[in-house]
Amino acid sequence: MTDQLVVFMPTLPDDVIALAKELAPDGYRVEVADLDLDREHALGLIRKADYLLGFPYHLDREAFEAAAGSVKLIQLLSAGFDEIDVHLSAEHGIPVATNGGANSVAVSEHAILLTLAALKRLPALSQAVLDSRWPVPNTYSSDIFELSGKTFGLVGLGQIGKKVAHLAQAFGATVVYFDVFRPDPSVEKDLDVEYLELNDLLARADVVSLHLPFSELTDRMIGREQFAAMKPGAVLVNTARGQLVDESAMLEALDSGRLRAAALDTLAHEPATVDSSPLVGHPRVIVTPHSAGSTWDSWTTRLVNGFSNIQSIAAGDAPRWKVSP
């Protein structure tokens, strides 16, 4: 029997590709394609592929037409799916699946990392030492805070949000949440979290952490009205998608002091630089380069989940973690 062809997209570091080939089950062959680097080669592989795996975000109509004859599943290794045209995929009869929460540990840890760094002003204090200054701690203490005893507001209670809730509670925070689609009350009881409408959460929370996917429902859902509703001196953490926030309104809230700090792993336009975004380099903003989910540990989990879902399709089962158009 001929091996099933799994086309990994796009080109990633050699160690990631080597791991993908190592973890591929027997009977599956992994080849790498990159539409940006060699379009014709990529289209040729897509036409022969049984599955697409990775981050195939640049699939256009021609690529979907190439895939339509043979590809049975587009298996993403990300939790987000806003960069792939799920409507075009559905039009060509190809299901799309996310990573099954494989990076939820990495992202939830990063959310807490950003929270603590913002509350304790880690970048500013570290930079002071690098600048040959050793600030007297008491001169900074009125602007340094603990997570313990604070109200931690989750906007989104999916797999990542739930893990963040546990971590925040371990630090002694009280957790409240809002979600576009409220889960069963039993979930709230099990997690020991309280549901609030969004503006009520914003008024109460010392830290607001975003964990919703980008969609028409969540596009710039945190705007001027929401910043005005926030508890003065709150911290905003975003490890979800930059498009959830009106960045102009966030900048105004930071400059006015309404927002104490913003700790962001994602911006509306990436990559961002000091020249392209006023948030990069702002004294009250921490920015990491959309790296929350990118731990070495998470790669194994992502790939195991991905190949498991591919095997489910091969066995005639429905895909797990399927994205609806």
**Distance of alpha carbon 17 from alpha carbon 11, whole angstroms:** 8
* Positions of E strands within 121-250: 151-155, 174-178, 194-195, 207-210, 234-238
* Burial class of 122 by CB neighbour count within 10 A (0 to 12, 13 to 18, 19+): middle
Token readout for 45 is: 């592989």
The position carrying tokens 């990076």 is 103
CA distances from residue 34 to 38, 54, 204 in whole angstroms, order as listed:
6, 11, 47
Q: Encoding tokens for residue 252? A: 């105004």
Active site residue 241: yes
Known catalytic residue at 91: no
State the catalytic residue, choosing from 110, 241, 260, 284.
Answer: 241
Q: What are phi and psi of 82, to 5 degrees?
A: -75, -15
62, 166, 270, 320: which is the annotated catalytic residue?
Answer: 270
Q: Which of 110, 284, 290, 302 is catalytic?
A: 290
Longest pairwise C-alpha distance within the chain: 72
Main-chain dihedrals φ then ψ at residue 176, nearest 5 degrees: -120, 160
Catalytic residues: 241, 270, 290
